[in-house]
Structure 1
Amino acid sequence: MSNDRNRINFFSFLAFLALGTLVARVAYLQLWEGEFYTDYAGKQAKGVMESTRGRGYILDVKGEPLALNKKSASLYVFAGEINDRKGFVLKLKKAGLHLSKDVVTRILKNDSFVWLERNIDIDRAEKIQKQVPNVEYLLEEQRLYPERKLAASVIGFTGVDNKGLGGLEYRYEKILQGHKLRLLSLKDNRGKRIVFEDTRKEKAIDTYLYLTIDKYLQGLTEEILREDTAGFMAKRGIAVAMDAYTGDILFAASSGGFDPNEFGKYSKSEWKNYSAGFLFEPGSIFKPVLFSLLMDKKNLNIREMVNCENGRFSLYGHVIRDVHPYKILTARQVLMKSSNIGTVKLSDKVSKNEFYKFMKDAGFGQKTGVSGLGEEEGILREAKHWSGLSKPSISIGQEVMVTPLQMVRFYSAIANGGRLINPKIVSKVENGGDTYRPKFEAKRIFSENTAKALQSLLRDAVTDGTGVNARSSYVEISGKTGTGQRIDSDTGTYSKSNYVASFAGMFPADNPRIAMVVLYSSPKKSIYGGSTAAYTFSKLAEQVSMHLGIKRSYVYESLPAS
């Protein structure tokens, strides 16, 4: 009995000693050697890639999804564990994988982790895994653009690693990026590889980027532009609309486009957002810029008589022509009928420095600050670099380069009473329970009285001037036609066959809310904005008015014949 008790005590002592030794060892490893083993594990996992999960969603103004995530599979292999590497490559190719030269080189010459193909269907990944030994796959997230081409140049796209490469995806990468998860690779004491995901940081999606874009209007505009671009035999059609009081961009569309789900299949020129990145000489849609300065600072009398020289006027050895010859017009008629000669003569009332400063204040020659659209700043040379012909040329929209977005912002100022408002395409960002909204920025560039007078002049331009083809039975439209020449890249001079036809305006005319610009690059059916862009403007204005519930009225019993 005594011997049994001694034996029990002895083994209890050994057990406590072993336990104490184990605890001491764990404490030692944790406190003094922890960093070493962390580094060791990290070295074993060297070359293993990271996976991104939970990228934020992009939604339209009503919360309709434009960019989401879907589950996908990415195939990988640990090249050092393959015995016959060349045979392995052949098996992969027979299984239908398209391996780049870089991937093949890494399989043949490296011993580390190698991605074989990213973001493929899970069913396909499982099939390949069964066909080719040593192939493994990781479940990842791939960006999904459910509306395909719709607003693609606004939204942008992500690459195989789910990082933004264009548009708002790139601009808001830090906000949208989600969280990174590591794929860890370790070996047990028998040398068998254990692969697992570090999911400690995984969390639900809590980031939402809301746009000002209306999905319905964006899609409708893109479709109308494609139809009319073909009808006018133009190279490209572009349209952008803006709420004149908030700066919200309702749509920023062009007739081209690409599918961001397969962006690599398209030319890079299609990735561009043309509303913010297309540079052109505006022609006559720029004439209201001079008129706003004259009416605001020089008390222009719109009844003043101007000799328009019967359609031909020589200035500094250059001949200025009107499409239709006029003799005497009032200043009001000069804008209504878009007389180049009359506008040039009226430009004598301001100095070149006054004109330059006003255009600069009106936002030309500089970016509007809109996010993520690859914006161009345009070209507005300083007055000290002007020739004698520059001021009259700029007054009729030559020697200056603008974007459609800059023009729609200026027409918004006419519509809202004289305030230049910075356009925005992001309405709010919800991130982790917090909501952020872009700062509203506006500055006055001319008086409310000037704005009202310009609205009236531009209304006349549609009812009785060059813009009659923009008339609508549903909504009253104010606006201006334009025809600008393109520069011939071979000769460096104005092309005789390449033009930009445009119409810029606002609606409803009696209380403007929406400003819009429509233009066609290199139309063949007609080079004039009044014969092309004006028609499209009218169609879009009707659709926007109906969709937004803007008051409509039956303005005319009949429309002018086309």
Structure 2
Amino acid sequence: MATRRPDSPRDKPSRDNASKEKALRGKAAAAARKSARAPMGAGRYRIMLFIVLAGLLALIGRIGYLQLFDQQFLQDQGDARTLRVDSINAHRGMITDRSGEPLAISTPVVTLWADPRKVPDDPVRLSLLARALGQKPDDLIRRIRRYRDGGKGFMYIKRQMTPPQAQPAIDLDIPGVSHKQEYKRYYPSGEVSAQLVGVTNVDDKGQEGLELAYNSYLSGTPGKRRVLKDRKGRLVRDLHLISEAKPGGDLTLSIDLRLQYMAYRELKAAVAEHRADGGTLVMMDARTGEVLAMVNQKSYNPNNRAGLDPAGLRNRAITDAFEPGSVMKPLAMSAGLASGKYQADSVIDTTPGYMRVDRFTIRDFRNYGKLDMAGILYHSSNIGMSRMALSLEDDAVWNRYYSLGLGQSPGTGFPGETTGVLPAPTNWSRSKRASMSYGYGISVSALQLASAFTALANDGRRLPPSLLKVRTPPVGDQVIDPDNAHALLGMMEKIVQPNGPAKRAVVEGYRIAGKTGTVRKVTSSGYQKTAYRSLFVGVAPVSDPRIVTVVMIENPKGQEYYGGLVAAPVFGRVAGKALRLLDVPPDSKIGE
């Protein structure tokens, strides 16, 4: 095939087109260069000049306005960089016993904090700071670096130090490290009243007990002050007070710290002696319903909570309910006396010492034969109580228990107070009615039990329990006929005699009325054969009752477990000392 020559006529149009395109591009570039060098048009120039001058005039006008008419704005902006409003901590109210003895007080402390971003990364200075605080230098340095790397602007170095402890660290004057005044709660009575008084957290806020229940009242209202600080946040001058801090209110409890110490010591000794799981004691004023002593085992030291067992925080006297057993028999018997079917000298045949009700067998310790009302209580006859209860209206015993405050909140305001369990009388079986008469099938707290027995000690009027000192004693609710209340108290007095089943509760020089109780503990698998609660409820002195006391020992593991052998002696020791401390005159020669 013949090749075409480069200058062939067919290639000529292409070369001409390329030349024309090149010439056009050259002319366009020259025009662009000329346009770039050309001066701005007169119209555009005037517009741009107007915009610049208008912005400048607006800025000058704003400055003039702020200087002449709105000087406060500039002042506020300057103050915002130097003036601060600091909070003034309010002093938390004090908690005292009925005589003014302190149970909880707030003491001034110092907290050291830092802005990690401003703390110099100087191992020498930080090591001096750590040693002044009793910390390991490496640990402190690592903490500061961790907060700094995380972009945090605040960290606590050490909280709630006494002023002498904090001063060496403050004197180091390390940039970024500051301090502030706070308050720390201190409990002079320690574990003795810990579960009743409760505790606060590190921020002085109530967490348990009455500290929690009355936190708002005790906390008060923080104040405010305006201060001048430098750019590092250090105080330059205290300018003026905006509002004063209002301290919290003081709380006066009903307890007598002397009785509280004594009751705690005796309960703790009894729990240790019988190798028990725990115990509770509540003492109430029979005239006012005030709680004079309330102690539990186990307890804890609120001033040192290292290794704290959470179980020790609970005020079991108020928050825990249990089957009370035979201590309920005087209260159930009051329903029989109120029915008119029974009088103090009425006789019930308990032969042969057991009875079959529905599918259950109810037993006495032995066959006691025919017993009057006093004999039923003296021998703690389940048969006598069951036959009495089954002869009454179906809800007679339930109504009496309910009128005595069982199955209801005690109304003390204590956090977590239990209502107990009082099953409603709906479709009750005969066995249910019978067991309720001797304290099974229901549950109560120690405080509820003590409150119920104030009706026997106060001419039939039940007094609501109070954890605070009362100025005007309540009238109470008349739930038992006064004659019946006196008769029952007399029956209970026969139990606490030198030859009686509660002889260990005898108090020299005083007439004592009481009732023992021994209850099998119940778990999810049913009643336990070798685990018991030992109880005693006592009223003293009988001639003019001043105190009602409930003692409960949880699961004693020694050879003795009956209420008359384990709980009654605790009552005897506590009641004897309490009556003398309260200056109650003797009314008997028993025991001399």
TM-score computed with the length of structure 2 as normaliser = 0.80
Q: CA deviation at 1:218?
A: 0.2
Say whether the 8 Å CA contact 2:517–2:562 is kept in structure 1.
yes
Q: State the shift of 1:290 in Å.
A: 1.1
1:401–1:51: structure 2 CA closer, same or farther, 3 Å change rule? farther
Q: 1:286 to 1:79 in 2, by over 3 A?
A: same
1:379 maps to 421
Contact 1:91 1:132 in 2 (8 A): no
The whole-number CA distance in structure 1 between the counterparts of 2:463 and 2:512 is 21
Partner of 2:585: 551
After TM superposition, give the deviation of residue 52 of structure 1 in Å.
Answer: 2.7
Post-superposition offset of 1:283: 0.5
2:537 aligned partner, one-letter code: A
2:36 equivalent in structure 1? none
Provide closer, same or farther for how the CA distance between residues 445 and 404 of structure 1 changes in structure 2, counting only shifts above 3 A: same
Please state how far the C-alpha of 1:209 moved relative to its aligned partner: 1.0
Provide closer, same or farther for how the CA distance between residues 506 and 180 of structure 1 changes in structure 2, counting only shifts above 3 A: same
Report what 2:315 is aligned to.
273
Question: Which of 502, 527, 546 is residue 535 of structure 2 equivalent to?
Answer: 502
Q: Which residue of 2 aligns with 1:538?
A: 572
Alpha-carbon deviations, 1:90-148, whole Å to 9, x = none? 87666544889998754442342322222122233223345683322222221111222
User: Tell me, what secondary structure is at the counterpart of 1:426?
Assistant: coil
Instruction: Report the residue type matching 2:518 in the other structure.
Output: T
Instruction: Name the residue aligned to 2:185.
Output: 143
- Residues of 2 paired with 1:36 and 1:382: CA distance? 70
TM-fit CA distance, 1:27: 8.0
CA distance in 2, matches of 1:97, 1:185: 32
CA distance in 2 between counterparts of 1:419 and 1:313 reads 35
CA distance in 2, matches of 1:165, 1:22: 57
The match for 2:454 is: 412
For residues 513 and 65 of structure 2, the distance between their equivalents in structure 1, rounded to whole angstroms, comes to: 84
1:44-193 alignment to 2 at 5 Å? 52-84=89-121, 95-97=133-135, 106-130=147-171, 133-134=174-175, 135-181=177-223, 188=230, 191-193=231-233
| Aligned AA (1:224) | E
Q: Is the 8 A contact 2:541 2:587 kept in 1?
A: no
- After TM superposition, the structure 1 = structure 2 runs for residues 437-456 of structure 1, keeping only pairs within 5 Å, are 440=474, 442-456=476-490
Match of 1:291 in 2: 333
Residue 514 of structure 1 is matched in structure 2 by: 547
- TM-superposed CA distance for 1:536, in Å, is 0.9
Does the CA-based 8 Å contact 2:219-2:248 persist in structure 1? no
- Tell me the secondary structure at the aligned position of residue 54 of structure 1: coil
Match of residue 398 from structure 1: 440
Pick from 330, 348, 370 the counterpart of residue 328 of structure 1: 370
- 1:291-319 Cα deviation digits (max 9, x unpaired): 11111233412322222223322221212
CA distance in 2, matches of 1:553, 1:529: 25
* Count of residue pairs the alignment pairs up: 521
Task: State the distance in 1 between where 2:469 and 2:217 align.
Answer: 15
Secondary structure class of the residue paired with 1:384: coil
Rg larger in structure = 2
The AA in structure 2 aligned to 1:538 is: G
Question: Contact 1:332–1:457 at 8 Å: present in 2 too?
Answer: yes
Give the superposition deviation at 1:203: 5.1
Deviation at 1:254, TM superposition (A): 1.8
- Map of 1:240-279 to 2, 5 A cutoff? 240-263=282-305, 265-279=307-321
Superposed displacement of residue 474, structure 1: 2.2
SS in 2 for 1:309: coil
Of 507, 510, 519, which aligns to 1:472? 507
Q: Answer yes or no: is 1:358 the counterpart of 2:400.
A: yes
Give the equivalent residue in structure 2 for 1:488: 523
- The answer to whether the 8 A contact 1:280-1:484 is kept is no
Amino acid at match of 2:116: A
Q: CA deviation at 1:263?
A: 3.3
Closer, same or farther: CA 472–73 of 1 in aligned 2, 3 Å: same
* Distance across 2 between alignment mates of 1:264 and 1:386: 50
Whole-angstrom CA distance in 2 between matches of 1:470 and 1:111? 64
The DSSP-based 3-state class of the residue aligned with 1:160 is coil
Percent identity between matched residues is 26
The correspondence for 2:234, drawn from 194, 208, 213, is 194
Q: Distance in 2 between matches of 1:358 and 1:466?
A: 26
Query: Which AA in structure 1 matches 2:151?
Result: N
Structure 2: any 5+ residue segments left out of the alignment?
1-62
Contact 2:535/2:552 (<8 A) preserved: yes
Residues 374-427 of structure 1 show CA distances to partners (whole Å, capped at 9, x for unaligned) of 311111111115333211111111110100001100111110011121111112
Rate the CA distance shift 1:79–1:183 in 2: closer, same or farther, 3 A.
Answer: farther
Give the letter for the 1:358 counterpart: R
Q: Please say which of residues 125-134 and 344-353 is displaced more in the overlay.
A: 125-134
- Matched to 1:443, the amino acid is D
Instruction: Please give the TM-score of this superposition, normalised by the length of structure 1.
Output: 0.84
CA distance in 1, matches of 2:360, 2:78: 82
The worse-fitting range, judged by mean Cα deviation, of 269-278 and 409-418 is 269-278
Q: Which residue of 1 aligns with 2:34?
A: none
Letter in 2 for 1:110: G
Q: 1:402 to 1:27 in 2, by over 3 A?
A: farther
